[in-house]
């Protein structure tokens, strides 16, 4: 199960990890904060949409479903409101508090979903560095609270950061997958026509180079076999 805080997160961090079937199938694509009113300001013009939660959410869900079809994923949506809808702005500072009640609600929802679908493995972004999206921190914490025998894997939190030193975070690389054609990844990213901006493409290019052309998946050292 690939868990993304927002629509478009996994295409940036895990396109080739998913395509090459790094973990056993079936694959689910679960979007936690699927309700949103944010579109890229430049790309918004082509959609002629108001800043309404309903219209933007519908569009973003449609884009997620298109990506899911491309890689034969089964898409699901939890329907939580993103940080911008909840608070009127997005927080990126690692010291900003996170909503504990929301963490618990998401953790409980994940637990029910895992039991229902007999999920064995879960992949989530690992936030690090100076820019840590509040919603990504919430999902990470919610996953930590799950009291089921499930194995949690982590990927670089692209476009915001990469894991610079796995030892610092008590992580071990489980597998690396070579990005054979970054243009193929860019084409997949462009399925999210309402959201992708030059910054995201540039960050993917930059982090790919720093990762020596690989997408990476990690486990906690204690879980490595």
Going by pLDDT thresholds of 50, 70 and 90, the confidence category of residue 39 is confident
Contact 71, 25 (CB under 8 A): no
Superfamily of domain 2-223: LmbE-like (3.40.50.10320)
Q: What are the domain boundaries of the chain?
A: 2-223
- Residue 116: the pLDDT is 96
pTM: 0.92
Q: What is the pLDDT of residues 112-122, one digit of tens each?
A: 999 999 999 99
Q: What is the pLDDT of residues 122-181, one digit of tens each?
A: 999 999 877 899 999 999 999 999 999 999 999 999 999 999 999 999 999 999 999 999
Query: How many CB atoms lie under 10 A from the CB of residue 90?
Result: 13
């Amino acid at each position: 199960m690939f868990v993304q805080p927002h629509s478009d997160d996994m295409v940036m961090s895990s396109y080739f990890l998913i395509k090459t079937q790094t973990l056993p199938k079936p694959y689910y694509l679960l979007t936690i904060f699927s309700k949103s009113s944010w579109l890229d300001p430049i790309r918004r013009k082509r959609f002629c949409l108001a800043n309404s939660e309903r219209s933007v959410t519908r569009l973003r869900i449609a884009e997620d479903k298109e990506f899911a079809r491309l890689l034969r994923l089964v898409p699901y949506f939890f329907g939580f409101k993103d940080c911008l809808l909840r608070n009127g702005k997005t927080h990126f500072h690692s010291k900003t508090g996170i909503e504990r009640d929301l963490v618990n609600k998401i953790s409980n929802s994940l637990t029910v979903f895992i039991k229902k679908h007999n999920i064995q493995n879960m992949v989530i972004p690992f936030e690090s560095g100076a820019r840590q999206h509040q919603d990504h921190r919430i999902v990470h914490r919610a996953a930590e609270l799950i009291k089921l025998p499930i194995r949690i894997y982590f990927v670089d939190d692209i476009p915001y950061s990469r894991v610079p030193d796995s030892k610092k975070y008590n992580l071990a690389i489980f597998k690396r997958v070579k990005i054979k054609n970054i243009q193929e990844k860019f084409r997949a990213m462009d399925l999210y026509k309402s959201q992708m901006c030059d910054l995201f493409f540039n960050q993917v290019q930059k982090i790919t180079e720093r990762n020596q052309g690989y997408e990476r998946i990690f486990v906690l050292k204690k879980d490595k076999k």
